[in-house]
Amino acid sequence: MAVLLRPLTLFQWGKEVITTHGTAVPATEKIAVENIGFTPLDELYRPNLAKGYMLPHSANETPIVRGTTWKVSDQPLTFNQHQRWLSMAIVGGVSAVGVADPWTWTYTRNILADPTPDSFTLERRLSDGTLFNDNEWAYAMLKEISWTFEENQPLKFSAEGFARRIQSSTLTAAQAMPIIDIPPAPLCKVWLDATWATLGTTLLSGQVRQAEVTFKTGFKPIILMDGRTDLDFATHVVDGNEVGLELELTVLLTKAQYDAQKTAAEAGTLRAVRLLVDGPTVDRSITFDMLLKYDVPTFFEVDDDEGQVQGVFKMRESTDGTNLFKVIVENGIGT
């Protein structure tokens, strides 16, 4: 008996037409991840009709909903593909700027408009080396994405999303993996300023130990009474009440830094933070720009780190009425 072999698993995706989310498309690229976990949301309604059965239900099970959640955890970021993830999370319909390598992709969350995200069709192949199971999930987009910067690690990201129900598929043949260019997390630099206009002015040199950025997209699947025979969600919405941005910085403290950030926390002063990671390859980078305020209007936690005093700066989304979050990727992909 030939068993499906985990090392032969592969994942692919194709970007759907933005005006027809959910219409599955052939894949155009392999996905540079170690794994994607899919969880069905399908439900059976089990009534307990008075049939005189000594059972908790009357065997009249009826499917009432379909759908999928999916997740990737602690994946190394690769510059030449990360723009795809951002288009499902921050804003869709973005084109690269440039005439040749390097290309620049800019994703800005506009707090005054619908971000119109891109959706993707995800493909998966399970194989025993001879036989295989091919499946696909249409209308895939993200509910949350986060990035972690830790010592002795690459820059990693995690993502959680939703999609329509699993469907049988024929894997799109001959798709390539992007060029893999994984940045070590210590290549990150952090700036901490007071306004969007002054982003990137005050470098936290010799202080930052760890960082984590989490963005909650606000995107949700919506079930509508549209006579859908597949019982799946019809469309997505963006819920402004569910949009969120969180940052944790672990910083070796100087007296001046302690005093400045304690004052800013207590006063509710805006914090304009930039994280920039240059790649080991020339002309590869990712930049995170964000506006936040301290989560609690008081001094932050302090702790010991190798005999030094460190503080954990915990911040969450805020705005100057225009700006919130922007991510810029510089890579070798033009389309």
- For the segment 142-154, the average pLDDT, to the nearest whole number, is 96
- In whole angstroms, give the CA distance from residue 226 to residue 210: 48
Q: Is the pLDDT of residue 300 over 90?
A: no
Domain count, the chain: 1
Tell me whether residue 214 is in a domain. Answer: yes
- pLDDT for 25 equals 98
- For the segment 254-273, the average pLDDT, to the nearest whole number, is 94
- In whole angstroms, give the CA distance from residue 86 to residue 105: 10
Q: Provide, rounded to the nearest whole percent, the portion of the chain with pLDDT above 70.
A: 100
Q: Is the pLDDT of residue 1 over 90?
A: no
Instruction: Give 7's pLDDT tier (boundaries 50, 70, 90).
Output: very high
SS3 string of 40-74? ECCEEECCCCCCCCCCCCCCCCEEEECCEEEEEEE
Q: Is the pLDDT of residue 280 over 90?
A: no
- pLDDT for 303 equals 87
Residue partners of 56: CB distance under 8 A and separation at least 6: 46, 48
- For the segment 74-96, the average pLDDT, to the nearest whole number, is 98
Backbone angles phi, psi at 224, to 5 degrees: -125, 150
Domain of 68 in residue numbering reads as 6-49+57-331
Show the tokens assigned to 50: 């008075």
Residue partners of 307: CB distance under 8 A and separation at least 6: none
Could you tell me the pTM of the whole model? 0.96
Location of structure tokens 């901490």: 192
Tell me whether residue 1 is in a domain. Answer: no
For residue range 181-237, what is the model confidence (pLDDT) as tens digits?
999 999 999 999 999 999 999 999 999 999 999 999 999 999 999 999 999 999 999
Distance of CA 190 to the CA centre of its chain: 20
Residue partners of 280: CB distance under 8 A and separation at least 6: 181, 182, 183, 184, 187
158 forms bridges with which residues in the sheet? 146
DSSP string of 182-221?
PPBGGGEEEEEESSGGGTT-SB-TTTEEEEEEEEE--EEE
